[in-house]
Amino acid sequence: MLNRNEIIKETVKQAASELTSVNEVLKQGKKFNIPVQTTQGAITQNVGVEHKVTKAADDLKQVNAKLTKEVANRASFESELAYT
């Protein structure tokens, strides 16, 4: 699960970097009147990043659910060991 967490972490980092790029394009578009196609490309990229972040959030929910289950199992096991 730690490996999966690292993969999710890297995905979120990548998404943050992409969002920074998108925001820069959109800011410059306001200042320098960049072509509409460039702005549309940035918006399309933004939608892709939103999907990555949503998937990462869903993946984290799954990891957290598994961790919660493992912690409960461990607590139960430790409790059983204490009585033996």
Domain boundary assignment for the chain: 2-82
State how far the Cα of 39 lies from the Cα of 13, in Å rounded to an integer: 23
Distance of CA 11 to the CA centre of its chain: 6
Choose between 84 and 47: higher pLDDT.
47
Q: Are 66 and 1 in contact (CB under 8 A)?
A: yes
Question: Tens digits of per-residue pLDDT, 16-71?
Answer: 999 999 988 888 877 888 888 988 999 999 999 999 999 999 999 999 999 999 99
> How is residue 45 written in tokens?
């990229």
pLDDT number for residue 44 = 93
